[in-house]
Amino acid sequence: MLILNNYKELYNTKKEIVVFDLETTGLNPKSERIIEIGALKIRDNEIVDRLSMLVNPGIPVPFYSTKVNGITTDMLIGCISDIEGVKQFIEFSKNCIIVAHNISFDIGFINSYLERANTPILENMLVDTVRLARKAFPGEKKYSLGIIASRLNIDVLNAHRAEDDARVCYELYTMCINKLKNTEMI
C-alpha cells in the first residue's frame, strides 16, 4: 500500500480523484464486512460522479455497528452483495488517486475482499486526509473526521454514513491542499 506523503504533485493534478468512505460491521477487515460504500469522483475540482450504495454482506449487522451508523440488517435485504459493491468501487476508481480519512482502514477492507477473491490488491496512488490534515493544520488535539471538520467549519450532515463522510473528507482534502499550496507559494 503506497500512501502519498509528498502532496506537491496534488496541487495541480489533472488526474481524477476518488474520495470514499465505507461503513462496516466492525473494525477487523479479515473477519468483518462492508455494508455501505460512498464515493465521489472529482475532476478539475468538481464532483463529476457518485457511487453510493448499501451492500449486503450476507451476515447480520451487529447492534454495535447499527448504533454507530444506523444501518440495520433489514435495510440490506435486497441490496447487491458486498462483493459486487467492491467490484463496482474498483471499476469506479480505476486509474484515479484514491483519498480517504484514515485510508489504511478503508483500503484494508477493500484489499481484504480482493485477497479473498484471489484478485490483485489496489495499486492506485493513495492519500490519507488524516496525514494531510496533520501537515496542513499542525497542533490539533484530535484529527478524527468529525472533530477536524467541526474545527474547520465543514458541515457534517449525516455522520457515519458513507457518502456524507466522503463529501466531508473531500472538503477537508480541498482545504488542506489549498492551505499547503498557499503556504508553500509564500
Question: Which of the residues are catalytic?
Answer: 160
Planar angle of CA 62, 162, 173, nearest 5 degrees: 140
Q: How far apart are the first and last CA of the chain?
A: 33
**CA separation for the pair 34, 159 (Å, rounded):** 17
The sheet with strand 34-43 has its strands ordered as 46-54, 34-43, 17-24, 97-100, 126-128
The radius of gyration of the chain from alpha carbons, rounded to an integer in Å, stands at 16
How far, in whole angstroms, is CA 121 from its chain's centroid?
16
**CA separation for the pair 52, 136 (Å, rounded):** 29
- Specify whether the CB–CB gap between 15 and 139 falls below 8 A: no
**CA separation for the pair 39, 165 (Å, rounded):** 9
How far, in whole angstroms, is CA 46 from its chain's centroid?
17
**Where is 129: in which H helix or E strand?**
helix 129-136
